[in-house]
Amino acid sequence: MKNDSVFKAIGPGILMATAAIGGSHLVASTQAGALFGWQLAGLILLVNILKYPFFRFGVDYTLTHNESLLHGYFRKGRGYLWIFLLLNIVAAIVNTAGVLLLTASLLHFVIPHGPNVLVLSAFILVVCLLILLLGKYRVLDTLARIMMVILAALTVLAVIFAFSQGSQVPADFVSPSPWELAALGFLVAMMGWMPAPIEISVINSIWVQEKRRIVPVSRRGGLFDFNLGYWVTAFLALCFVSLGALVQHGSEQEIAMAGAAFAQQLVNMYAESLGEWTRWLVALVAFFCMFGTTITVLDGYARGLHLSGLLLSKRLDVDTPNLAVSRRGYTWLLLAQAAAGMVVILFFRGALSPMLTFAMTAAFLTTPFFAWLNFSLVRGRGENRARRSWLHLWAWIGLVYLLGFALIFIWYATL
């Protein structure tokens, strides 16, 4: 295959990365560095490595069978698809509200004398909806590439500058340990969305299908795109840990745990520690990070809910992989998801932080189930086991880790 054909396949993996870097990177990864310094950098890298097979299996399945993971769940049993649908209704609403509010808070930080956060939330939501409804997948695909290049460049620049200034930790500061049971809740929530909630593997498989409707995507091209997006995501996670460790760790100021308050605190602390001009650099990093996440969360969850509904209601035959069916259904679900997210912001704004923590924790606890489900699909459909036995061994190690950690957390929570 020619290299240009491989590069034409780039898109779904970048969308996956864009969806991933919001809550898990800007907030959780940076908080990990701010609270514990470099101690959690290895764990963040480890969880990215151990989750890799289960995200890759989604792309493998779609490239091999030309159908999404949702088709595979349905073939395995309607109950699996119902579980996915019910969990994703909750995740879609809570995550939409969370990323939208954080994006609006960052924009308000940039223009403090402008409209309030609620008005900015509505404005950002309308902009995202117009892009998705008028531009459709092609515009989303192009926009994600542009935003990812800008975000990666700005993030790396911020990290390089932070390293050049050296650590801000006082010489007599003793870092708290994350290896205590009291920190288990934070670790589980962080890993739940690291690099992204497991349902993003399903959404990514739908994006791969949509990409195939536009240009031919070979197995080589599809895996190149996935690996590029996945490992860029892992690299950026380490960058955000670095920002927290270099700028916020050891500060006398108490680290805010709410997403919007924490992001604004990070920007302020950057300006105070490293210079006023860095305020806008970090603000741009944070805003691009969250705007990209907002638009991909809106599109991805709406597509997943739409296709799930079509399969369960038998309006789409399981042997028909065409996602162009009933564009109207996608539109109504997208609008309903957006409206529900705004309702949560309006009426439950004060409770949004614990709701997001709950969603992140639930994401980790359900990860072993969906990881096994993705694994079972590629093992059960006659995949080339000999050629990819190393990936299957990798998956078994990941399953043991994820299930073991989940059981430890459940045991701790019931004490």
Say what the pLDDT of residue 127 is: 93
Say what the pLDDT of residue 282 is: 79
More confident residue, 22 or 89: 89
pTM above 0.85, yes or no: yes
5-9, 45-49, 307-311: segment of lowest average pLDDT: 5-9
35-49, 180-194, 238-252, 258-272: segment of lowest average pLDDT: 258-272
Distance between CA atoms of residues 67 and 320, nearest Å: 8
- List pLDDT tens digits, range 138-178: 787 788 888 788 878 888 888 888 888 777 788 778 889 99
Boundaries of domain holding 214: 3-413
Q: What's the total number of domains in the chain? A: 1
Ranked by mean pLDDT, which of 9-18, 43-52, 187-196 comes out on top?
Answer: 43-52
pLDDT at 302 over 70: yes
CB 312 within 8 A of CB 85: yes
- List pLDDT tens digits, range 28-37: 888 899 899 9
CB contact set of 263 (below 8 Å; sequence gap of 6+): 26, 27, 102, 105, 106, 109, 286, 290
Percent of the chain surpassing pLDDT 90: 31
Instruction: Indicate the average pLDDT of the chain.
Output: 84
Quickly state the pLDDT bin for 325 (edges 50, 70, 90): very low
CB 321 within 8 A of CB 66: yes
Rg (CA), the chain: 21
Identify the CATH number of the domain in which residue 365 sits. Answer: 1.20.1740.10
